[in-house]
Structure 1
Amino acid sequence: MNKTISDDSGLVSLPSAWPFPPTVERLCEAITAAGYHVFSRVDHAANAAHAGITLRPTELVLLGSPRVGTELMLDQQRVGLDLPSKVLVWQDGQDKVWLTYNTAAWLVQRHGLGEGGSAAATALEGTLAQVCGQAASE
């Protein structure tokens, strides 16, 4: 498997060893097993098809834990703009499947989080790395 890609934009992208549908299902199972909730799934490719546009498989999974999200919002309430947390599962032009999520550093910088919010953001990123890793690995 390829290495995780992280860049200055605050994104982490992890390649999956699985095709698209099993990757999404494995992600949702890992989220639930970690004690988080899958709040919603947005199938961007299906929505594009309704508009007559072809888009490679792309699904946004919205997830969270009221305990973690509330800790973030107690620090800076406007962080709610970026909650629930999200993982984008997408297939590139070479049919490689990826999972992409935001880093803790990005949330901290974007919202000016203090010590408590930073700790919650770091814990959240740890969970995102865990569930994405489980979904992506063989």
Structure 2
Amino acid sequence: MRFEFTSLVAFLATTALADRMEIFTKCGDTSCNSYDGWFYTDYGAYRVNANTGCRVPGVPHMEEFCIDWDNRRLHFRFGGQDKRCMTQDSESAYGCGATCYKTTWREIPCYWRMAPIPEEQLATEVQSSAPSTTAEVKGKRAVNF
């Protein structure tokens, strides 16, 4: 039995384990720094800057990484894949010269939107580019849209 290479790659991609993260955060008097993050895939562990915001990290083939600390969630996207999401799973203190925390993150289905659309920008009426016409078919009027 012969398998096509693309079929094999697609099968392996759908059976991969979920990715995960660990982030080590150090807090001072006025702010926290989460630059020491580790993103784990089936292929290795990669250091990432996990401070709030979006960036292209040093994870092979990852094109987008955005973290929202206020809501304890993040999303990321590898080339050729849809957006994938994670949420904070746990938080524990660890010893350092300041106040330090280790958080773990697990992959979940994406359920939040990228950004809400302001109400004044929502369309109130759909306009078709095709003209509306009326035709008579066997003695009955039919409207074509």
Task: From the two aligned structures, give the one with the greater strand fraction.
Answer: 2
Bigger relative contact order (CA 8 A; separation at least 6): 1
TM-score under structure 1 length normalisation: 0.26
TM-score, structure 2 as length reference: 0.25
Structure having the higher helix fraction is 1
**Rg larger for:** 2
